[in-house]
Amino acid sequence: MPQTSQKLTPEIITLHRYFIWADRMKVHFDTVLKNLSSRPKDGNFLTKKEGIETFMYMSLWYGMLYVLIEGWFKLDLHDEKIDFLLQSENVKLLKTYRHGVFHFHKEYYDQKFLKLMGDGQDIANWSRDLRDEFSRWFIDIHRNESKNR
């Protein structure tokens, strides 16, 4: 297991808040997805309650995940696995998607949403891998801080 030598700073504690917010939206998204698997889909899925909630939690998760990435870059942090994942074109897609989530657009299916959704499974797997690596990184910092007390 890779260990980080990064010290826990107020800025990293703040970054962790964004991780928690993003991760909580992922938990809600996963819960809605789990509940969907047992229900038949009829009609236009995205206009039904389940579809709206799925789209909402996925969008909030992806939007907050980009804010976490933005903080990572602004703080000039580095980790081999995270940095590798952040070389992906998915970062640009996520940034555009975040703009679509947190800025009003007149079209329901705005291109800022559709570009990311076109990548479907790739972005989903990548986002989950990135989330797991951020989680590992924050846990490593906490462990290191606890050892040094």
pLDDT over 70 (residue 64): yes
Question: What residue type is 132 in one-letter code?
Answer: D
Q: Distance between CA atoms of 77 and 79, rounded to whole angstroms?
A: 7
Instruction: Write out pLDDT tens, residues 37-61.
Output: 666 555 555 557 777 888 899 999 9
What pLDDT shows up at residue 2? 46
Number of H helices and E strands in the chain, helices first, is 6, 0
- Which pLDDT tens digit goes with each residue over 76-128? 999 999 999 999 999 999 999 898 889 898 887 777 777 777 655 688 899 99
pLDDT digits (tens, 9 = 90+) for 67-88: 999 999 999 999 999 999 999 9
Looking at the chain, the whole-number percentage of residues with pLDDT higher than 90 is: 53
Please say if the pLDDT value at position 1 is more than 70: no
> What HEC string does 39-70 produce?
CCCCCCHHHCHHHHHHHHHHHHHHHHHHHHHH
Domain ranges across the chain: 10-139
Rounded distance between C-alpha atoms, residue 60 and residue 58, angstroms:
6
Give pTM, 2 decimals.
0.84
Tell which residue, 134, 145, 20, 17, has the closest CA to residue 77: 134
pLDDT score of 25: 95
Residues 128, 125, 89, 70, Cα dihedral to 10°: -10
Q: Give which of 9, 7, 16 is closest to 147, Cα–Cα.
A: 7
Reported confidence tier of residue 6, pLDDT bands at 50, 70, 90: confident
